[in-house]
Amino acid sequence: NGITVSGIGLNKAAAVQYRALTRYLSVFSDFTDNYLALQAACRDLRNKWVQDADPETGGGRVERVKKDDCTQVRNAADAVQMTAPVCTDTAPAAAGPLCRDGETVARLFHDDHESGSPGWTASLNENLYTGQQWQVVTDFAASGTHAWRVDDELTSCSSGDWTSDVYLVSPTVDLTGANRPVLRFLHDFFTEGGYDGGTVEIDLNGSWTKLEQRDFTLNGYNGRMNLDSTAPNWTPTSREVFTGYRTPGNFPELTYAESRVDLSSYAAQDTDKQVSFRFRFGTDFCNGTDIGWYLDDVEVYDCKL
């Protein structure tokens, strides 16, 4: 952002951060509070000696905090725009008309999961962690009383590998004669951002193919997997997923929103026009949110001329 920052070193940085955390910040603090707290903590420490922050060698007084160090603390906060608005472009867009002007809507498939979700199957990769699974729940639904949910289990990083790959597969949908088929579904999620997340796939000629960001016409994937995530449902060239927290300002309350996917190109490629959809959730080595991904009201319809 056009700001030059000169590092102040680990010892001074640790001292400033520690004082900000212990003297100025609380569980209710936000980024603006942190911006002010870091500068206040540095002012408090000016002309004071700080100790070696290395846990192996720490203990002795090694450096004095200077006025220019506090200038660099502010520069660093300004460089990352710590007081700028947060997540202003991540809230889901409102749903508009199902089809374009001049087109009519023909429903090909719909399930609100109020009748036992016939034809839906939940499964997982048995070679990975098996503690998580898609399940029908009644604690949070977009309509009626039932929805699907997969938990993003909060796991320990101290032992074991909690990497998982979990699937929810729809019944077969017939796209024969469809002009511009669209997949729409209502959902919301709260996962470990960049490490755990969900994708949507289509069974294309017998092979599962990820629906890419470019295929979404409404509320597509909101984030990308970090390159060090062990979750199996992404590749380095296709990292987009539903991850983190999508609706800022409502935390920790989830709010269902609609996503849509234009299936035209996939319908053209599929030879028998019989397709299914897989909602795939992957988690990495550890951590989580104990909330996960909720899904309700899945529909496929055609926009006919």
Instruction: Label residue 168 left, alpha or beta by phi (over 0 means left) and psi (-120 to 50 means alpha).
Output: beta
Instruction: Label residue 9 left, alpha or beta by phi (over 0 means left) and psi (-120 to 50 means alpha).
Output: left
Angle, helices 31-45 vs 67-79, to 10°: value is: 170
User: What value does the CA radius of gyration of the chain take, rounded to a whole number of Å?
Assistant: 24
pLDDT digits (tens, 9 = 90+) for 61-113: 789 999 999 999 999 999 999 988 765 556 789 999 999 999 999 999 999 99
60's tokens: 């002795």
What pLDDT does residue 134 have?
98
What pLDDT does residue 51 have?
87
What pLDDT does residue 52 have?
87
Q: Is the dihedral of CA 241, 247, 251, 254 positive or negative?
A: negative
Element (H, E) at 166: strand 164-169
Burial 249-288 (b: 16+ CB within 10 A, else e): eeeeebebbbbbbbbbebbeebeeeebbbbbbbbbbbbbb
Query: Do residues 157 and 285 touch, judged by C-beta distance below 8 A?
Result: yes
Biggest CA pair distance of the chain = 78
- Helix (H) and strand (E) counts in the chain: 4, 18
Mean per-residue pLDDT of the chain = 93
Find, among 48, 52, 70, the residue nearest to 61 by Cα: 52
> Residue 53: pLDDT band by 50, 70, 90 thresholds?
confident
The stretch 266-295 carries a mean pLDDT of 96
Residue 146 scores a pLDDT above 60:
yes
> Which residue has 């490490």 as its token pair?
195
Peptide bond just before 252 cis, omega within 30 deg: yes
**Total-model pTM:** 0.75
4's tokens: 């030059």
Find, among 86, 114, 107, the residue nearest to 178 by Cα: 107
Residue 55 scores a pLDDT above 80:
no
Query: Which 8-state DSSP code applies to residue 24?
Result: I
Query: Do residues 221 and 242 touch, judged by C-beta distance below 8 A?
Result: yes
- DSSP states of 76-145: HHHHTTTTSPSSTT-SPPPP--SS-TT-EEEEEEEE-SSS--TT-EEEE-TTS--S---EEESSS-SSSS
